[in-house]
Chain A
């Protein structure tokens, strides 16, 4: 039989067949009508959105919308070009300055997405003679950034500073130019990096440290600067990467650094050069969202964390297997059966609750997860409705 170029996708073909039996596909959910930051019509039903990473609930903030609309009218729908060519507008530079000022760091680069930010930094800063040591549970954008570059890439056990220490030791002299990569809050189960211990290890070996604050910007720290701020290690972190697509309610990415030399690398980053820059309206709404984070952050964070604790405690009471700590990302472990995972996810959707279904290899283990993410915009009644929906399917969750 002739070999097909599509043979390698058989696993996904089988998965499509499995989900075709349901009237909703967890990997292709269509939001038919957006009703608010936290509700939409999905599958013809009014649904609470409990898996959107909209942590501060700013997607409908009238100030962000007004700024986006103004930029759309005055600067057009897109830049149609790379940051390196015609795609750097005054707004892009202003956002870079504002991010640098917010973090109190001298260097800042804005990218078109958070994914591209990781691709740009990790494929360019560490070169062929350097090593990257990444936490095993790192996001796919971190792995992909490593693959795009030439550095030696070594995984260390998730949240295990002793394992990192051992691997840096094995590198010998090369440890001095190694880049350690961790995340503030890990996206799948919502746990935090033990940053103080990791900083201690990286200091001992003279290595560099990058922290991806995609899920922790605006969520952690007295000023919302993320885990680096909360752990009090701002002096020791070399690169902070983040996204505009979560707490800031838009799309885009950034890297800030205590190293002014980051600026030299800007024009060597292929993912920065060979893609169009963010639309002016996105930059405008992001700038306003950042200013809201600075002015109203404490109040928004309090609402977010109250919601996070309420959901975590509510689900914990059912005896589910969950992440180690209360977090704006709350994950329930289901077990290995993909069929059961699909059923439970679908039952929740039927009850008007949307959460993320995560299956291996996207989940950190061989088990499936139901992943919820909270928003400051959720009401207590919405959180209780999510808890009730989980309660109604608890039998199927616990049987795994």
Chain B
């Protein structure tokens, strides 16, 4: 099982370029679509990168509940259990 902080760090790493492009600070409350302006196609590609990084698969069924960086990190931690 991966630590929440470890997952959060991995997410910050992957999301950094988007935050810098959108000129936003990254934190747990950052909204993936609204704040980082990531369109749906790019978001799905990004999730695949994160999945590979953590060696897990995120079921599509979970996506409607994921809005913020924290939502994603919590979901990833649950899936890594």
Contacts and interface: CB of A to CB of B under 8 A. Distances in A.
A78 to B, nearest CB: 36
Interface string B32-61: 000000011110100010000001111111
Interface residues of A, number: 16
A146 B59 CA distance: 11
Contact of B56 (A143, A170, A361, A365): A170
Interface in A132-152: 136, 143, 146, 152
A89 to B, nearest CB: 38
Contacts of B58: 154
Interface string A355-369: 000001100011000
B56 to A, nearest CB: 6
A46 interface: no
Nearest to B47: A155
Interface of A, helix, strand, loop or mixed by DSSP: mixed
B41 A365 contact: yes
A365 B58 CA distance: 20
A170 B55 contact: yes
Contacts of A170: 55-57
A167 B57 contact: yes
A203 interface: no
A361 B61 contact: no
A157 B57 contact: no
Q: Chain B interface: which size bin?
A: 10 to 19
Interface string A329-368: 0000000000000000000000000000000110001100
Contacts of A152: 59, 61
A154 B62 CA distance: 10
Nearest to B42: A366
A365 to B, nearest CB: 7
A131 B59 CA distance: 9
Contact of A146 (B41, B42, B44, B60): B60
A153 interface: yes
A136 B44 contact: yes
Contact of B39 (A153, A154, A157, A360): A360
A360 B42 CA distance: 11
A160 B59 CA distance: 18
A361 B60 CA distance: 16
Given A365-B41, A366-B39, A366-B42, A157 B48 contact: yes
Contacts of A167: 57
A186 to B, nearest CB: 16
B60 A154 contact: yes
Contacts of A366: 39, 41-42
B1 to A, nearest CB: 15
Among B40, B41, B56, B58, chain A packs the most CB atoms within 10 A around the CB of B41
Nearest to B56: A170
A361 B40 contact: yes
Contacts of B44: 136, 155
B41 A155 contact: no
Contacts of A136: 44
Contacts of B39: 360-361, 366
A170 B41 CA distance: 23
Most buried by A among B39, B56, B58, B60: B60
Nearest to A143: B60
Contacts of A365: 41
Contacts of A171: 57
A157 B52 CA distance: 11
B69 to A, nearest CB: 21
Interface in A154-168: 154-155, 157, 167
B42 to A, nearest CB: 7
A384 B51 CA distance: 46
Interface of A: 131, 136, 143, 146, 152-155, 157, 167, 170-171, 360-361, 365-366
Q: Which 3 A-B pairs have the closest CB atoms?
A: A153-B60, A152-B59, A154-B57
21 contacts: A131-B59, A136-B44, A143-B60, A152-B59, A152-B61, A153-B60, A153-B61, A154-B60, A155-B48, A155-B60, A157-B48, A167-B57, A170-B55, A170-B56, A170-B57, A360-B39, A360-B41, A361-B39, A361-B41, A365-B41, A366-B42
Given A143-B60, A155-B44, A361-B40, 11 more contacts: A146-B60, A152-B59, A152-B61, A153-B59, A153-B60, A153-B61, A154-B59, A155-B60, A170-B55, A171-B57, A366-B39
